[in-house]
A and B are shown apart, each in its own frame.
Chain A
Amino acid sequence: MILLAFVSNGNARMRARLVGPVRMACLVFSLLMLVLTTGMFFRYFGDVTWMDIGFNEYEFEHKYTWVESLGINWAVGLDALSFPMVWLTTFLLPVTIIATWNEKHGATYFPLLLMMGGALIGVFVSLDLFMFYVFWELTLIPMFFLILKWGGKDRKYASQKFFIYTFTASVVMLLGLITLYFLQDPYSLASSGTMTGRSFSIPELIDNARANNIGDNWYLGAQMQKILFVMLMIGFLVKLPAVPFHTWLPDAHVQAPTGGSMLLAGVMLKMGAYGMFRLPISLFPHALYHFQLALMIIGMVSLVWGAIVCLGQTNLKKMVAYSSVSHMGVILIGIATMQPMGWAAALFMMFAHGIISPMLFAVCGAFKHHYHSMEIGAMRGMAKHSPWLATSMMFAWMASLGLPLLAGFVAEIMMLIALWKMISVDGWSIWWMVGPALVLALTAAYYLWSMQRTIFEGGEDTQPPASMKGHAIPDISNSEKFAMLILALFTIIFGVLPWIALDMMDDWTIQAFEGLIIPLLKGGA
């Protein structure tokens, strides 16, 4: 895509020595991209109605042959599934740059952020399995360095753990992709490679799969479909991360610099959910039905376990990281409900969490930056000392626990409705409601409790923490204030007017249901 060219050009030019110009240039480039994607939404660039794109149809498609003999193409395009994610990435980049305006070693830090953004956009826009995988792995490298160079005390351990966990999962996914590639009927697709006779093209694969996933007929046969579904899901579940594979996330987050955390939580986790929708779900709906219960259980466990662990955390950032695990559980449950509403909830959760969690981590970053500690008990009476930080913290916490009229609430309520629908229409046990209900209480509990301990307790007579070494307690800087304000503003916008993004997601899920699930249920018709 044009955006990608922008990013790579930007990177090449930004190897200058001086921090100031580099930072400025990065900001300008990221803002340009934001303008471009926003313009796409408001139809200034390219006249696209985001509402009427059918399932497996793409806008702004571009395709160039890359490796002809293997059927690899440089194919990009956008649809209502990927566009919100791309917009989110371009939105978060400038915000992240602003929020971490004073990061040290800026001449390499900001270009790395931008590179990261480029790779993320690459994942979202690619319509070719090979390209998808390349960008998927490419996101690891800048993140690895962000954690390694700007991270906390245990950054070596955290960055390697992060890299190895996700790399292991994605090589399993890669083997699944290759097996899928060779299971195609040779020369059945338009962009098949001259040497292998198979194609990496995602749209063509999905079309092919749809043509064969009718009634009781499984694309690639029942056994293979299940195996491939599991192999691909391993890659995406680790990235998400779902509970048995989640342990890399808290480590990575606690050690990562603020900017890294913001992008990691904001967009990188969504890669997992995005990948699920794009590949296994679109290709293997039969297997999705087969593993519905398993996904539901994993989702529930993530949701509840994440929340329970949060209660016991004394480290602010670790708590936020586990709350991410909990929220990712919501996405999985949304998918597993097999209701259009549930899928839309998952998509909107991706989006909403993409705006809220960077704010959470920005608050954590500011906290660390100003009080030199991440411990919840270290600083008390923030409301007195740093009203700005206290306010933004309160806002972010509230948004994350799902206060009505904020973005997170919309997704959660949709998920609950979908779950309820699943129970009443599909006849699942009512006990499935216990998990989410419990978590609503738990989430409120850990957020409110931590707020109480940091913001309100103490007051007039509170001493600054020992880690301050007697310095005066500052409030957050102007750039941080600005970033928080923007994030808060958008949290409100998407909470009050969710349909701006939700309409297009709804549209995609309905189209996907018509394209994928209905043919299965209808039988051989």
Chain B
Amino acid sequence: MSTVQNVEPFGDGFIAALCPELIIFAGLLALIIIPNIGKGTFRIPGTQTRVMWLFGGERFKITSNPKMPAWIATITLGAAFVQTILSFQDGVDRTAIVTESGTQLLLVNGFSRVFEMIFFGALTLAAFASMNRLEVKGIGPKLSTDDLYNNRRQADFYILMLTCGLGMSVVALAQDLFVLFIGLELASFSTYVLVAFYKESKVGTEAGMKYFIVGSVASGVGLYGLSMLYLWAGSLQFDVLAAQFVINGTDPLPLIGIGFVLVGFGFKVSAAPFHFAAPDAYAGASSPVAGILATASKAMGIIGLIRMLLIVASPEASEDGTVWLTLLGIISLVTMTWGNIAALGSTNPKRMLAYSSVAHAGYMLAAITAIGAWNWDDSLAGEPGEAAVAVLTAVIFHLVVLVAFKLGAFLVLSVLESDGDASRLSSLGGLAKREPFLAVAMFIFMISLAGVPPLAGFVSKLLVIMGIVKVAIGQMGAEIMAGGDYGLADVHWVWWLALAMVINSAISMFYYLRVGVVMFFEEPEEGRTGPLPAGWQVRFAILACLMATLFMGVASDQLLEICEVAAKSLNYSWN
């Protein structure tokens, strides 16, 4: 395997390595500057000469166009996304950004690239679709103050989207818990405000507030955990912490510390005891933003969990590293069951999707538990990392395709929101008659979420179950061939998590199908007839999601390879 290439900040290869982030950064600057460009002049002190310096004053027609920020953000995010995809083409290189003393800060490899792909892909689609959501009240001097505010808001919204993307990609790149935390907070704060941005509805502000308070408590607890880890190891570098864990990982201090950190990330992925804010936040936010929370933000939390549990408290290193295993298994079981049962009872499609997102978090936690279970029995264990790679590939694949159908579902709701609201199941009524394309797309997203073949959701769920079963069975096949007789009692208990997963999938079928029934066979609500008013952008984004859902379902081979590369690049000893 190629070795890591060290690059100092702004040294050789820096731009190539961090190209997507730099694009985002440039876009951010552009977004701040461009709407301010106008006919402003500057009087040289002591003279009467006025020099055009283009800032302030009456804005030009182009720069004051309220649609401008949306386009800048979309193009920026899209460019970053394309750049990430391109980097896969000729093999992902490994580049570490190091400090002068040689400590790794950021590491660019397959793992970070694939997550950048998720973040930028989701944000591009959401930004593009948001063009139809934030109202633009025209251009020109005759606007009222409110309208001007409204137009001004455009820039703020998209700036937040870009900072969100930047923070998320820092999380993916971080090699140090502190850097990771900074990225996490940058992204989190952006999302808090994005949730509250939906001020047309009263619940938006409330949801933002709630999300912010609970989120900051969770972050605070996480930070406390970080400080404990620092106290214990004297460093927050992943490799230092991992090395320490091999030696004395069973000390109470690091275990408590990890517990606290897990609370922080558990909130981000909306795992069971920390998920209460999620349904409120999703329901209160405008749908594209809720879509970001359910896809990109959740992927960010999963990175945190993977880093903490696999790299830091690496179960491959010691038997004792699996101390969190039972707890995680229970959390995952509770999360998936709770999410599904709560979703059964919710009549608000956004809350339903939020709870389904909780359930999906449970599935992913089950997968992560399975990785931790790898060392359960020496006689049955195989190559180190073999199972971890299988499960991680599944988790990453799931996160990638989740963008397609989860965000897609939220975007369909977004179209409905522009027609009034989408907070009742009956708002979807008669969608098939009003807009057949949207209804079909929504139905496909729903059954993909439920895991019906041949859609992307099925492949991802299948992979996760396969990963878990693989870990649970280990080398039992070979043992049986050698004449052994094993039953379910000999299989590791994570197998039962797989069973819980399939049963939960069956439960989830109820509420996903209900959406289909309402769309196709119920009449629209009073006064809501005819096609929906939203523009072409959001439809285009939905179409892209739909194509991805179908395509990844039948032709998953290439993406699977990318995910495998990503999983392997997480730990060099796995290659």
A224 touches B469 (CB 8 A): no
B520 touches A224 (CB 8 A): no
Residues of A within 8 A of B506 (CB): 164, 167-168, 171
Interface residues in B493-528 (C-beta closer than 8 Å to A): 495, 498-499, 502-503, 505-506, 509-510, 513-514, 517, 520-521
Chain B residue with Cβ nearest A175 = B502
A223 touches B488 (CB 8 A): yes
Interface residues in A162-183 (C-beta closer than 8 Å to B): 163-164, 167-168, 171-172, 174-175, 178-179, 181-183
| B551 proximal to A (CB < 8 A) | no
A221 to B393, CA, bound (A): 30
Residues of B within 8 A of A223 (CB): 485-488
A500 to B134, CA, bound (A): 69
A31 nearest CB across to chain B (Å): 27
A179 touches B509 (CB 8 A): no
**Chain B interface mostly:** helix
| A148 proximal to B (CB < 8 A) | yes
Q: Pick out which of these stretches binds chain B: A64-72, A86-94, A479-487.
A: A64-72
Partner of B495, one of A134, A163, A174, A179: A179
Chain A residue with Cβ nearest B554 = A66
Residues of B within 8 A of A68 (CB): 557
Residues of A within 8 A of B466 (CB): 70, 178, 181-182, 196
| A141 proximal to B (CB < 8 A) | yes
Residues of B within 8 A of A2 (CB): none
| B454 proximal to A (CB < 8 A) | yes
| A475 proximal to B (CB < 8 A) | no
A160 to B521, CA, bound (A): 13
Residues of A within 8 A of B560 (CB): 67, 69-70
B510 touches A149 (CB 8 A): no
| B415 proximal to A (CB < 8 A) | no
Residues of A within 8 A of B421 (CB): none
A197 to B498, CA, bound (A): 20
Residues of B within 8 A of A185 (CB): 477-478, 481
B557 touches A224 (CB 8 A): no
Partner of B480, one of A134, A196, A224: A224
Chain B residue with Cβ nearest A155 = B521
A171 touches B503 (CB 8 A): yes
B interface, how many residues as a size bin?
A: 35 or more
Partner of A172, one of B447, B502, B520: B502
Residues of A within 8 A of B488 (CB): 223, 227
Residues of B within 8 A of A183 (CB): 473, 476-477, 480
| A445 proximal to B (CB < 8 A) | no
| B564 proximal to A (CB < 8 A) | yes
A119 to B513, CA, bound (A): 20
The total number of A-B Cβ pairs within 8 Å is 117
A67 touches B557 (CB 8 A): yes
Residues of B within 8 A of A227 (CB): 487-488
| B452 proximal to A (CB < 8 A) | yes
B463 nearest CB across to chain A (Å): 8
A221 to B478, CA, bound (A): 11
B480 touches A69 (CB 8 A): no
B96 nearest CB across to chain A (Å): 27
A175 touches B510 (CB 8 A): no
Interface residues in A221-277 (C-beta closer than 8 Å to B): 221-224, 227
Residues of B within 8 A of A178 (CB): 462, 465-466, 469, 498
Chain A residue with Cβ nearest B489 = A223
| B11 proximal to A (CB < 8 A) | no
A487 nearest CB across to chain B (Å): 31
With A140-B452, A179-B495, A223-B486 as contacts: A195 and B390 at CB distance below 8 Å:
yes
| B45 proximal to A (CB < 8 A) | no
A382 nearest CB across to chain B (Å): 33
B453 touches A133 (CB 8 A): yes
B522 nearest CB across to chain A (Å): 9
A16 nearest CB across to chain B (Å): 15
Q: How many residues of A contact B (CB 8 A)?
A: 45
**Chain A interface mostly:** helix
Residues of A within 8 A of B473 (CB): 179, 182-183
With A148-B521, A175-B498 as contacts: A221 and B453 at CB distance below 8 Å:
no
Residues of A within 8 A of B46 (CB): none
B503 touches A168 (CB 8 A): yes
Residues of B within 8 A of A167 (CB): 452, 505-506, 509
Residues of B within 8 A of A70 (CB): 466, 560
Residues of B within 8 A of A179 (CB): 469, 473, 495
Chain B residue with Cβ nearest A188 = B481
A149 to B432, CA, bound (A): 12
A168 to B501, CA, bound (A): 11
| B470 proximal to A (CB < 8 A) | yes
Interface residues in B431-448 (C-beta closer than 8 Å to A): 447
A141 touches B469 (CB 8 A): no
A175 touches B453 (CB 8 A): no
Residues of B within 8 A of A476 (CB): none
Interface residues in B407-466 (C-beta closer than 8 Å to A): 447, 451-454, 458, 462, 465-466
Residues of B within 8 A of A175 (CB): 465, 469, 498-499, 502
A149 touches B503 (CB 8 A): no
B517 touches A174 (CB 8 A): no
| B556 proximal to A (CB < 8 A) | yes
A265 to B521, CA, bound (A): 25
Residues of B within 8 A of A186 (CB): 477-478
A261 to B393, CA, bound (A): 42
Interface residues in A331-390 (C-beta closer than 8 Å to B): none
A160 touches B517 (CB 8 A): yes
Chain B residue with Cβ nearest A165 = B506
With A156-B521, A168-B503, A195-B564 as contacts: A222 and B509 at CB distance below 8 Å:
no
A184 touches B503 (CB 8 A): no
A212 to B520, CA, bound (A): 51
Residues of A within 8 A of B239 (CB): none
B477 touches A134 (CB 8 A): no
Find the residue from A145, A148, A171, A185 having the highest chain B CB count within 10 A: A171
A440 nearest CB across to chain B (Å): 38
Chain B residue with Cβ nearest A208 = B481
| B484 proximal to A (CB < 8 A) | yes
A167 to B560, CA, bound (A): 26
Chain A residue with Cβ nearest B502 = A171
A364 to B108, CA, bound (A): 67
Chain A residue with Cβ nearest B561 = A69
A141 touches B486 (CB 8 A): no
A221 to B520, CA, bound (A): 49
A185 to B474, CA, bound (A): 11
B497 nearest CB across to chain A (Å): 11
Residues of B within 8 A of A497 (CB): none
| A501 proximal to B (CB < 8 A) | no
With A68-B557, A167-B506, A196-B390 as contacts: A182 and B469 at CB distance below 8 Å:
yes
| A32 proximal to B (CB < 8 A) | no
B326 nearest CB across to chain A (Å): 22
Chain A residue with Cβ nearest B482 = A185
Which B residues contact A (CB, under 8 angstroms)?
A: 390, 393, 447, 451-454, 458, 462, 465-466, 469-470, 473, 476-478, 480-481, 484-488, 495, 498-499, 502-503, 505-506, 509-510, 513-514, 517, 520-521, 556-557, 560-561, 564
A-B residue pairs, 6 tightest by C-beta: A223-B487, A168-B506, A171-B502, A134-B453, A221-B485, A183-B477
- 8 A-B pairs within 8 Å (CB atoms) are namely A67-B556, A138-B453, A164-B506, A167-B452, A167-B506, A168-B506, A171-B505, A183-B477
